[in-house]
Structure 1
Amino acid sequence: MSNPATVIAAGGVVWRERRGTRQVLLVHRPRYDDWSLPKGKLTAHEHVLVGARREIEEETGLQVVLGPPLGVQRYTVRKNGGTADKLVHYWSATPLDDAEFEPNSEVDEIAWLPVDKARTKLSYPRDVDILDALDRVVPVTATLILLRHTEAVKRKDWESKDTNRPLSTNGTGQAERLTAVLDALGANRLISSDAERCVATVTPYAASIDRHIHLWPEISERGFDADPDGINGMGERAWKPGKVTVVCSHRPVLPTLSRELGLRVGKFSPGAFLVAHRLGDGRLIYERFSAP
């Protein structure tokens, strides 16, 4: 009998440049005696980006920053005496340090290998397909995360100025959980509407990395209503080479702001965000996520 519950997992292709050669990191799992890409199952309610980063660190000892997506594997695994579908999401990942690997029960050996050698060492053709996707998404010249503020107190329940309307209890929790997500993406530049609900959305992350929040009144609801053309030219200011920039704004402003930033226009529920990576050849790679 099959089990309908899908197993969700995440991981990455960890890579670095050494003497002009790209190397990728493979892990050996003694339980299966195989060589694979670092990955693992998500914990309950864990965001897929956070889970990918955690699993990579647990299996390799390395903290990483996630880059563009590399694809999703789909296959069947044994579960509870039956079978279940398994989905594994992969991202490009670059290490933040050179931590020393310590063997454990899940992974007893790791290997940094040139891409060609890694292709022949991997035990599964599906991992080779993910590895081959890396060439198509590097190098990244800049990354932009377009974010709608998390859930706020309803307008009808707030009697003061709308610009001072705070986050709800749920929205505060979303902002706290967003911290780990933005950290996994390596966000290092923060831009926000000057409205309280936007500032409060990115404040927990700003505090965690000790970074200043750049306030842009033009992307607030009040500023946009007063001067819709104030957004013109912001694309050049928002995209910054070598940076992972967060831009936090409001639902009525996001369609126009998206177009100015050169991004796809779409619906943003509270706390939802779009991640766009600009590649060296000018292409953009998109991902869209709901609130954590």
Structure 2
Amino acid sequence: MEPSDFQVLMVHRPRYKDWAWPKGKAELNEPMAQAAVREVEEEAGVAVALKAPLTSQRYRLGSGHTKEVRYWVGELLDHNSAAFAARPPVVPASKREIDVVQWAKPAKARQMLTRRGDRRLLNEVVARAARGELRTSTVALLRHGKAVGRSSWEGTEKDRRLTRLGVSQALDVVSSLSAFGIEQVVSSPWERCRQTVAPYTDLSHAPLTFDEALTEESIEVDSAQASELVRKILADPAASTAICLHRPGLAALLEPLIEASAAKNLPACTPAHLSTAEMYVAHIAHADSPRVLDIEKHGTFTKLALH
């Protein structure tokens, strides 16, 4: 993709008299991904889905503290999409905060952006476009919420349910799935996974498919079926898919993602590193064969908030 083939969105801040990328602060117990899409919509008036992350920016404040700002590539979100349907309305920023919103081709944007760090991010976006890595698909591996302990559950394993904490986690994970533009969900049919994805699919009306290959029993017998499921989704350049599963299946589903990784310093992704209601989010480029550019880990603050 050439720089002349796309535009970027900037905002003008009258208080600082500068042109910059839309950004802002996370609210109390607000996941970072949710904060990112909320701030963009408040400041720029557009809904976006987060794509592959960009380089974080760090700079020193007048107080002597160091501030870190995380950025992602953002893609406009269709108002008829499932991800948009799952989002609450936002209150637009005041004219005192943002007075002008401007789309521009990269060459023009480079002239307008005030800060050197913002121009570096623009250069990163242009370089990705040249490599065919700007447009990406998304695969999220979501571990189900906190379930009732095996020792205290009297029913069958497939019917074991979420705890009250798990139900709260399922509600809170909605914002992260929406932030990454998830348009379809594939889940283990066991009850704790059903309960975990239900709030998102109910709000968004995203298509939901139950796959027996994702159950703990199937993983124990033949994990290759679960791995193949991920490979099929990886091959689809239009996929924005969340897969809800049990921890024993994470290794099998991570395997195709790590095999297709283009990163030299991919963060350690192991089943042991993923807690209940956390998810790995993989961003896949499709210029040639599917290549995983990055895998992030995201979760909720539910447990912290309740304790």
- TM bucket (normalised to shorter chain) is 0.7 to 0.9
1:142 corresponds, among 123, 137, 141, to 137
2:296 corresponds, among 265, 288, 292, to 288
In structure 1, what is the Cα distance between the partners aligned to 2:78 and 2:158? 41
Aligned to 2:25: 41
* Aligned counterparts, 1:25-174, within 5 A: 25-78=9-62, 82-96=63-77, 104-135=95-126, 136=128, 138-174=133-169
In structure 2, what is the Cα distance between the partners aligned to 1:253 and 1:280? 26
Q: Is the 8 A contact 2:143 2:246 kept in 1?
A: yes
Q: Residues 238 and 30 of structure 1: is their aligned pair in 2 closer, same or farther, counting only changes over 3 Å?
A: same
**Match of 1:92, SS?**
strand
2:180 corresponds, among 173, 178, 185, to 185
User: Per chain length, whose mean CA-contact separation is higher, i.e. which structure has more relative contact order (CA < 8 Å, sep 6+)?
Assistant: 2
In structure 1, what is the Cα distance between the partners aligned to 2:227 and 2:118? 44
In structure 1, what is the Cα distance between the partners aligned to 2:31 and 2:286? 28
Q: Residues 112 and 202 of structure 1: is their aligned pair in 2 closer, same or farther, counting only changes over 3 Å?
A: same
Report deviation, 1:288.
2.5
Q: Is the 8 A contact 1:66 1:94 kept in 2?
A: yes
Q: Which sits farther off after the overlay, 148-157 or 51-60?
A: 148-157
In structure 1, what is the Cα distance between the partners aligned to 2:97 and 2:112? 18
In structure 2, what is the Cα distance between the partners aligned to 1:121 and 1:157? 62
Q: Is the 8 A contact 1:231 1:260 kept in 2?
A: no
In structure 1, what is the Cα distance between the partners aligned to 2:44 and 2:238? 26
Aligned to 1:279: 285
**Between structures 1 and 2, the one with greater strand share:** 1
**Match of 1:150, SS?**
coil
Unmatched segments (≥5 aa) in structure 1: 1-16
Q: Residues 258 and 93 of structure 1: is their aligned pair in 2 closer, same or farther, counting only changes over 3 Å?
A: same
Report deviation, 1:277.
1.3
In structure 2, what is the Cα distance between the partners aligned to 1:201 and 1:232? 21
Q: Is the 8 A contact 1:144 1:246 kept in 2?
A: yes
Count of residues in correspondence between the two structures:
271
Q: Is the 8 A contact 2:231 2:256 kept in 1?
A: no
Aligned to 1:6: none
In structure 1, what is the Cα distance between the partners aligned to 2:93 and 2:69? 25
In structure 2, what is the Cα distance between the partners aligned to 1:287 and 1:42? 22
**Between structures 1 and 2, the one with greater helix share:** 2
Question: Structure 2 counterpart of 1:288, which letter?
Answer: E
Q: Is the 8 A contact 1:140 1:277 kept in 2?
A: no
Q: Residues 232 and 103 of structure 1: is their aligned pair in 2 closer, same or farther, counting only changes over 3 Å?
A: closer
Q: Residues 97 and 290 of structure 1: is their aligned pair in 2 closer, same or farther, counting only changes over 3 Å?
A: closer
TM-score by length of 1: 0.85
2:219 corresponds, among 220, 224, 240, to 224
**Match of 1:186, SS?**
coil
Q: Is the 8 A contact 1:139 1:280 kept in 2?
A: no
Q: Is the 8 A contact 2:237 2:286 kept in 1?
A: no
Identity of aligned residues (%): 34
Question: Structure 2 counterpart of 1:245, which letter?
Answer: T
